[in-house]
Amino acid sequence: MNLVNFRFETGADGVALLTWDSPDRSMNVITFEVMDELEKVIDEVASNPEIKGCVIASGKPAFSGGADLSMLQKSAVEYAKAVREQGEEAAMKQFFEGARRLSLLYRKLETNGKPFAIAIHGACLGGAFELALACHYRVLSDSDKTKVGLPEIKVGLFPGAGGTQRIARLMQTGDALQLLFKGEQLKAAKAKAAGLVHELAPEGEIVERARAWIVNGGKGKAPWDVEGFKPPSGRVFSPGGMMVWPAANAIYRRETFDNYPAAKAILHSVFEGLQLPFDLGLRVEARWFAHILRSKQAAAMIRSLFLSKNELEKGAHRPKEIPPAKFAKIGVLGAGFMGAGVAYVSALAGIEVVLIDRDQESADKGKAVIDKLVSGQVSRGRATAAEREALLARITATPDYEKLAGADLIVEAVFEERGVKAEVTKKAQAVVGPDVIFASNTSTLPISSLAETSLRPENFVGIHFFSPVEKMLLVEVIRGKKTNDRAVATALDFVRVLKKTPIVVNDSRGFYANRCVLNFVREGHIMLTEGVPPAMIETAARMAGMPVGPLSLNDEIALDLAWKIHLATKKDLGAAAVDPTQERVLHFMVEQEGRLGRKNGKGFYDYPASGKKSLWPGLSALADKKLDPDAIDVEELKQRFLVVQAVEAARVLFEGVVTDPREADVGSILGFGFAPFTGGTLSYIDGLGTAAFVAICDTLTQKYGERFAAPAELREMAKKGESFYGKYGAQAKAA
């Protein structure tokens, strides 16, 4: 056999070893070529009388990340082309057969008559785990690095190579649905406890354990192919089944608001598949998979959350001529919540951190926050006590700026006030000098103005983390007017070391993410004054696809911070730059009522010491009139929440703050949770069509004001029938 992606050899015991090791790739991924070669191997094993069975292993540090999603994206493009050339019926038949090719290949492996075992170390996800599920015996290494799962739902897809059918026949139905809905990755021990794998072993023994199973008489037959097989939860239409399905449907509605077709397809595939023989169940799954592959939600999510995200993480906008920066030691100025978070993720990446605050007590409080974070990881089994001690040992909490000597990067994360930032900048640079890159974690203040207080403005850059730092994946790297390429490259290298996703934005008040998300929060404030019931505001936002409502989000951010940002904007730019309605809301909440958000237990919500939060009844005082909830157009509320953010994203692009639609989209989803099923703010506009979006803007502007007004550039795009990816996508990739 002529194999490129695999090595195939048969031992004296008659057991073949297939090692997956695709050349020129850091990780194995499923491609058309991989499928072709795997089919050759299956045919060889099945037909060769000297081969008893086959063990599949990986030659990479991780097993496989699954399918190459660009391959799936191309399939949808080819379908559209086939519709034009062959007609819809012929194109659909061709597309369906292509969509289920991997499923048929795995079924061929499963029914070839000889046993296949798989030995897994490291990540084995998506289509690769579906391959494992099709094998007759699964051995996992007991390493913390080993994880298995089906995360397709996170990019708008679902397991379409037999995953829904095999998982639902290995686990209780409720557990199977939860695994598929969440896209959760399971560590080895948890996967074994769930019944998804057969055996755990040390990394060095997994291949031999798999081989031994075959040698000792392992059978090449899946449980569902044995006569009399019954799924763990029994029949769908049984007392037990009826305990599962009504609740599953209700949970699906509650969690997705019907925005995610792939989640609905999972429900259908499992519900229908469990009522059918296995091969018919696979056919049902394949039909749903073909349907989802053609959905605009899947196309948008694959582009933004896989392709674009990967391109940005690999340095799409990193200045190419600058050599990579190294980070043995960094300084973090400010041991508050944000500074402690930056110090934690840096130490987690193996970097030595000097955490500075005004006195030892304040610095120690920051380190205590870090201790609590890493101790939580230990208690959940995600870190060991030794790893906790090693991480804390990498952090020096001190008020002594002299300890910054030798730092490779300084990150300022002090209070959002110019004077305080200027003071710590001067103190730090007095020790490290002007050549060390200096980054500010400011969330709204323009980088160019902050840079003026530094010794060398060209070495000053913005690195804007989102809260909480340890959880949020996005980081905005802000280029000031004088920031040089070395500063930008260093910032991007630092973000990459932290395993976060960067977007590069040009300087502006609020930069990109905050300009959009603060519009979302403001819209919630305005709705309060209009008399929209607070619960309806929050629910409508979630129905639109936002992870939380604007009132909840403002409570988490802190109302007094929003108030300070509002006042600073008014001071710097004048009264016309702020919204008087929002000013009234924030003044009432912060100045009159002393409600600062979750941090003091009272904001738009009340936060009791025990029990769930609840909306504060006093919010009714903000309503100018009382509306009948039944007369309120919920669809319009949802539209307002998305449009007010998307139109601001368009303005940001036209102003040159963001220059790449990929960064606008990825930044909007990872930074503030903009309806992921749309693909992001600009994909939302492209999905509607620029002309349709402008028409919506015009209607909302007439009813609610200029904040919805479509920019002139967008109107011009609408007239020409242009899209953001069509007009700006190619030039951004070429830059």
Average pLDDT rounded to a whole number, residues 210-232:
96
Residue 209 has pLDDT above 80, yes or no: yes
In a domain, 524, yes or no: no
Identify the pLDDT of residue 732: 67
| Amino acid identity for residue 699 in this structure | T
Among candidates 598, 621, 617, 594, which has minimal Cα distance to 608?
A: 598
- What CA–CA distance (Å, rounded) separates 194 from 285? 22
505's tokens = 């934005």
Q: What is the helix (H) or strand (E) element at residue 249, kind and residue range?
A: helix 239-256
In a domain, 545, yes or no: no
Residue 409 has pLDDT above 80, yes or no: yes
- What CA–CA distance (Å, rounded) separates 507 from 282? 52
Residue 344 shares a structural domain with residue 448 = yes
Residue 132 shares a structural domain with residue 189 = yes
Among candidates 410, 442, 441, which has minimal Cα distance to 427?
A: 410
- What CA–CA distance (Å, rounded) separates 727 from 735? 14
Given 294, 311, 338, the domain boundary residue is 294
| 98-137 pLDDT, tens digit each | 889 999 999 999 999 999 999 999 999 999 999 999 999 9
| 668-720 pLDDT, tens digit each | 999 999 999 999 999 999 999 999 999 999 999 999 999 999 999 999 999 99
Identify the pLDDT of residue 15: 97
Among candidates 628, 631, 632, 672, which has minimal Cα distance to 652?
A: 672
Residue 45 shares a structural domain with residue 128 = yes
503's tokens = 């977007």
What's the first-to-final CA gap in the chain, in angstroms? 43
For 264, list phi and psi in degrees, rounded to 5. Answer: -65, -40
Three-state SS for 396? strand
Burial 690-717 (b: 16+ CB within 10 A, else e): beebbebbeebbeebeebbbbbeebbeb
| 28-40 pLDDT, tens digit each | 999 999 999 999 9
In a domain, 728, yes or no: no
- What CA–CA distance (Å, rounded) separates 602 from 555? 8
Instruction: Compute how many other C-beta atoms are within 10 angstroms of the C-beta atom of residue 89.
Output: 9
Full domain range(s) for residue 254: 6-294
**Where residue 196 falls among pLDDT bands split at 50, 70, 90?**
very high
Burial 387-407 (b: 16+ CB within 10 A, else e): ebeebbebbbbbeebebbeeb
In a domain, 55, yes or no: yes
Average pLDDT rounded to a whole number, residues 641-654:
98
Residue 423 shares a structural domain with residue 502 = yes
Average pLDDT rounded to a whole number, residues 363-379:
96
DSSP line for 58-84? ESSSS-B--B-HHHHHHHHHHHHHHHH
Alpha helix (H) residue ranges in 61-183: 69-86, 88-99, 101-110, 127-134, 163-170, 173-182
Average pLDDT rounded to a whole number, residues 374-392:
93
Residue 260 shares a structural domain with residue 401 = no
| 340-357 pLDDT, tens digit each | 999 999 999 999 999 999
Residue 254 shares a structural domain with residue 350 = no
527's tokens = 């709705």
Residue with token string 């909480």 = 468
Judge contact between 125 and 147, C-beta under 8 A: yes
Strand ranges of the sheet holding 199-201, from the earlier edge strand across to the other edge: 6-10, 15-20, 53-58, 116-120, 137-141, 199-201
Looking at residue 150, which CATH number applies to its domain? 3.90.226.10
What's the structural domain count of the chain? 2
Residue 426 shares a structural domain with residue 336 = yes
Residue 230 has pLDDT above 70, yes or no: yes
Residue 85 has pLDDT above 70, yes or no: yes
Residue 285 shares a structural domain with residue 352 = no
Q: Tell me the percentage of the chain whose pLDDT exceeds 70.
A: 99
Residue 99 shares a structural domain with residue 194 = yes
Identify the pLDDT of residue 550: 97
Torsion over CA: 45, 46, 47, 53 (sign):
positive
Among candidates 101, 97, 77, 164, which has minimal Cα distance to 129?
A: 164
Average pLDDT rounded to a whole number, residues 486-512:
95
70's tokens = 């660009």
Residue 339 shares a structural domain with residue 278 = no
**Where residue 735 falls among pLDDT bands split at 50, 70, 90?**
low
Q: How many residues does the chain have?
A: 735
- CB-count exposure of residue 457 (10 Å: 0-12, 13-18, 19+): buried
Residue 258 shares a structural domain with residue 391 = no
| Amino acid identity for residue 546 in this structure | M
Residue with token string 């021990």 = 189
Listed in sequence order, the residues at least 6 apart from 475 whose beta carbon sits closer than 8 Å to its beta carbon are 463, 464, 465, 466, 495, 498, 500, 501, 502, 503
Given 463, 493, 509, the domain boundary residue is 509
Residue 77 has pLDDT above 80, yes or no: no
Given 509, 535, 570, the domain boundary residue is 509
In a domain, 95, yes or no: yes
Strand 409-412 versus strand 437-440 pairing type: parallel
CA distances from 324 to 348, 475, 497 (A): 20, 18, 11
Residue 734 has pLDDT above 70, yes or no: no
Identify the pLDDT of residue 43: 97
| Amino acid identity for residue 569 in this structure | T
Average model confidence (pLDDT) across the chain: 95
Judge contact between 107 and 131, C-beta under 8 A: no
Looking at residue 333, which CATH number applies to its domain? 3.40.50.720
In a domain, 233, yes or no: yes
**Where residue 69 falls among pLDDT bands split at 50, 70, 90?**
confident
**Where residue 1 falls among pLDDT bands split at 50, 70, 90?**
confident
Identify the pLDDT of residue 70: 82
Q: What is the helix (H) or strand (E) element at residue 379, kind and residue range?
A: helix 360-379
CA distances from 14 to 17, 112, 113, 137, 324 (A): 10, 16, 15, 17, 49
Identify the pLDDT of residue 106: 98
Number of H-type helices and E-type strands within the chain = 32, 19
| Amino acid identity for residue 66 in this structure | G
In a domain, 623, yes or no: no
Taking phi first (over 0 means left), then psi (-120 to 50 degrees means alpha), and beta for anything else, what does residue 379 get? alpha
**Where residue 79 falls among pLDDT bands split at 50, 70, 90?**
confident
- What CA–CA distance (Å, rounded) separates 99 from 709? 42
Q: Tell me the percentage of the chain whose pLDDT exceeds 90.
A: 87
Which residues is 201 bridged to in the sheet?
A: 141
Listed in sequence order, the residues at least 6 apart from 395 whose beta carbon sits closer than 8 Å to its beta carbon are 343, 347, 352, 353, 355, 367, 370
In a domain, 552, yes or no: no
Residue 282 shares a structural domain with residue 392 = no
Dihedral over alpha carbons 112, 118, 123, 126 (to 10 degrees):
20
Burial 677-686 (b: 16+ CB within 10 A, else e): bbbbbbbbbb
